[in-house]
Amino acid sequence: MKETLVDFEDIKRQALTEWEALEHSENPRILIGTATCGRAAGAEAILEALETELAQRDISAVITQVGCIGLCYAEPLVDIIRPGEPRVSYGNVSPEMVPRLIEEHLVGGKPCSDLAMGFIGEGRADGIPALFDLPVLKPQVRIILRRCGFIDPEKINHYIATGGYSGLQKALSMRPDDVIQEVKNSGVRGRGGAGFPTGQKWDFCRKAPGDLKYIICNADEGDPGAFMNRSLLEGDPHSVLEGMLIGAYAIGAREGYIYCRAEYPLALKRLGIAMDQMEAYGLLGDNILGSGFSFHLKVKEGAGAFVCGEETSLMASIEGKRGMPRSRPPFPAVSGLWGKPTNINNVETWGNVAAIFQRGADWYRGHGTEGCKGTKTFSLVGKVERTGLIEVPLGITLSEIIYDIGGGIFKGKEFKAIQTGGPSGGCLSAEFLNSPVDYESLAKAGSIMGSGGMIVLDEEACVVDIARYFLAFTQNESCGKCVPCRVGTRQMLAILERICQGEGKPEDIDRLQRLAETVRDGSLCALGGTAPNPVLTTLRYFRSEYEAHVNEKRCPARVCKNLVSLYILPDKCEGCMICLRNCPVQAIAGGKRMVHVIDQDKCTKCGVCLDVCPPRFSAVVKVSGEKVDVPIEPVPIEPKKK
């Protein structure tokens, strides 16, 4: 045992030496974010441009590909570090900007202050603010994401040099019961759903009878607009794997699975690389670090079924069966995978475990609230100025997230609602902006934390249409096993579609409420039980919009196509013919210096005319329920009086 531990100490020393050599390199360094968000924004083209420019200039520089630092709205991101100088971050980089960055900053030593977002490290960068003092980052606390954007996720030595696997070493020196107690002391709760205390969950599984037990990582992140788990697996996969090893040791599991959706190819690739590296270092397999503890891990790729995010469906899928939930009890901790005691936590929970053992339960408890310890990652998307991946202490308010971190509503429009928890969550109105973000507060409002999706809606969003969209998603993803979910969600969706099409009846609103409550209370699993949340919360906080759709045949947000019309105002039309030329269905008639007219029978309400009409005219309007006085046929534009 001692000899093996010494070997790992040698590995740590080698990793630290490699890291320090990188940190104090005599050559300049370039870091580029090449996670999925960066690649989608063009990071691979930037990487190619950097390599080409450096080769042409015969410049020796170290390029490191890193994960997502969270500033998705500013991708692609490129950071430059000259020896002995601060790291300067550049956002929205294009291939055309690369020569200037190389010439002025990398070679000339003068950061491009007009392009830079901020700097990191000691020293000064004239005219450039500290990156972590920016409003988007200052309120954040980075525990889970502390390495994302700083290390190469495909190099295990980077992880080890920054404290990685020290938590595992600490856990292996403790009794399993003491490991579980440390998790309980930290106060960490599951980050994938209702927030059940993690230590208590582990305790149930450890005390369950049976020699064969399993550990599972749920990486089947399927919520529309959510990418927290994907980003962590892409940017710091070893933190998740270390947490799983600690959990396996604590409950007595020798085998485990990572259930990751196949739509995450980069995450799967980096998981595979990380696991190969662990085996080479004796961190995975038999007799890990000479402790006598053995653990073998496999990756199971999901086929995209949202219901497989539910733990009993997930286990059925691993077993080779159709992904369908089963009734509980017995709970997985007693009878899970192949009928054996099984512990399932999601990606972020496992990442928290690694951090807790690397830095201590007391340190972890210093963040969050009395009942909700630590931090939570969220994907902040929708109609907000600064979209991205954020990590905040639990207890922060929705207003701080939307306005301080997110920079407010896109283009200065009015806030309308925020959808938390994805299709299983709720749509919360402005009255909750000052509410704390924690499990109990969100549940009380009718929503959930879920895995961490947050979609911000502005004044132009129709909440009835939003409820229809999310219910269509969950109805399509229903496995069909139980009647309340299979039939109830279909009937709810039919009512919502009627209402959005202007065919709703006064009794539909109460019928929708009753159906939603029945599906919520009678469904077999959490997918069905939470599917009505978007409907129930929009009925609760935006009932007047439903009534406008049904009673007045009007969509207040002017979104539902059957309830809106587009017109060209005769006193503003200049006969420029831009709208006529761009109409995809030729629904606009007119000529030069003639007031244009939209044929309402041909118009598909696509809104192209509204988009292309020059702002100085603003002649096209979208209305719902309002009467507009317009000519039936094109007429000459009357000369304006001087």
**pLDDT of the residue at 218:** 96
136-147 residue pLDDT tens: 999 999 999 999
User: What are the helix and strand counts (H, E) for the chain?
Assistant: 25, 20
Burial (CB < 10 A; 0-12, 13-18, 19+), residue 58, is exposed
Is residue 101 within 8 A of residue 111, CB to CB? The reply is: no
**pLDDT of the residue at 640:** 67
What Å distances lie between residue 133 and 129, 174, 363, CA to CA?
A: 7, 39, 23
Residues 6 or more apart in contact with residue 15 via CB below 8 angstroms: 156, 157, 158, 160, 161
In words, the CATH class of domain 564-623 is alpha beta
| Segment 116-134 mean pLDDT | 89
Residues 6 or more apart in contact with residue 559 via CB below 8 angstroms: 460, 461, 462, 465
Q: Parallel, antiparallel, or unpaired: how do β-strands 342-346 and 214-219 relate? A: parallel
The answer, yes or no, to whether residue 295 has pLDDT greater than 60, is yes
What Å distances lie between residue 553 and 76, 538, 548, 561, 586, CA to CA?
A: 45, 18, 6, 11, 27
Show the 3-state SS of 401-469.
Answer: HHHHHCCCEHHHCCEEEEEECHHHCEEEEHHHCCCECCHHHHHHCCCCCCCCEEEEEECCCCHHHHHHH
Report helix, strand or coil for 17: helix
| Segment 265-280 mean pLDDT | 97
**pLDDT of the residue at 7:** 85
The answer, yes or no, to whether residue 3 has pLDDT greater than 80, is no
Burial (CB < 10 A; 0-12, 13-18, 19+), residue 114, is exposed
Q: Parallel, antiparallel, or unpaired: how do β-strands 375-382 and 388-393 relate? A: antiparallel
CA 34 to CA 43: how far, in whole Å?
6
Q: What is the distance, to the nearest Å, from the Cα of residue 339 to the centroid of all Cα atoms in its chain?
A: 33
Is residue 229 within 8 A of residue 210, CB to CB? The reply is: no
Q: What is the distance, to the nearest Å, from the Cα of residue 30 to the centroid of all Cα atoms in its chain?
A: 26
Is residue 496 within 8 A of residue 468, CB to CB? The reply is: yes
**CATH code of the region 17-133:** 3.40.30.10
CA 509 to CA 538: how far, in whole Å?
11
Confidence of residue 2 (pLDDT cuts 50, 70, 90): very low
Fold adopted by 165-365: Rossmann fold (3.40.50)
**pLDDT of the residue at 526:** 87
**pLDDT of the residue at 125:** 76
| Segment 230-250 mean pLDDT | 98
Domain extent listing, the chain? 17-133, 165-365, 375-458, 463-551, 564-623
| Segment 321-343 mean pLDDT | 95
**pLDDT of the residue at 347:** 97
**pLDDT of the residue at 642:** 53
6-15 residue pLDDT tens: 489 999 999 9
Is residue 458 within 8 A of residue 415, CB to CB? The reply is: yes
Is residue 302 within 8 A of residue 313, CB to CB? The reply is: no
Structure-token match 């292996």, residue found: 172
| Segment 483-501 mean pLDDT | 96
Fold adopted by 463-551: de novo design (two linked rop proteins) (1.20.1440)
**pLDDT of the residue at 20:** 96
Residue type, 47: L
CA 269 to CA 230: how far, in whole Å?
12
| Token representation of residue 137 | 């980052």
Ramachandran assignment for 590, one of left (phi > 0), alpha (psi -120 to 50 degrees), beta (any other): left
339-355 residue pLDDT tens: 999 999 999 999 999 99
**pLDDT of the residue at 126:** 82
Task: Determine if the peptide bond prior to 329 is cis (ω within 30°).
Answer: yes
In CATH, 375-458 is 3.10.20.600? yes
| Segment 158-172 mean pLDDT | 98
CA 255 to CA 257: how far, in whole Å?
7
What Å distances lie between residue 152 and 10, 30, 165, 252, 640, CA to CA?
A: 21, 12, 16, 32, 65
**pLDDT of the residue at 1:** 36
| Segment 274-278 mean pLDDT | 97
The answer, yes or no, to whether residue 117 has pLDDT greater than 90, is yes
CA 43 to CA 63: how far, in whole Å?
13
Q: For 27, what's the count of Cα atoms within 13 Å in the CB-facing half-sphere? A: 12
Q: What is the mean pLDDT of the chain?
A: 95
| Token representation of residue 112 | 């491009």
| Token representation of residue 301 | 């790729």
**pLDDT of the residue at 641:** 61
